[in-house]
Amino acid sequence: MRLWMDLCYWLSQSWMGIHTRGNRPLM
């Protein structure tokens, strides 16, 4: 499903953003 793909992508981007720049994931 496209939804799961988008969700996984969002989670990966958020996780990377948190651990690289210390920013909170956009809701």
For residue range 5-23, what is the model confidence (pLDDT) as tens digits? 998 888 888 776 655 555 5
C-alpha to C-alpha distance for 6 and 26, rounded to whole angstroms: 14
Both tokens assigned to 27 = 């809701």
- Tell me, what's the pLDDT at 22? 55
In the chain, the number of structural domains is: 1
What pLDDT score was predicted for residue 2?
86
Record the pTM.
Answer: 0.43
Which domain covers residue 15, as residue numbers?
Answer: 1-27
Q: What was the pLDDT predicted at 16?
A: 65
Q: Which distant-in-sequence residues (6+ apart) come within 8 Å of 23 by Cβ?
A: 17
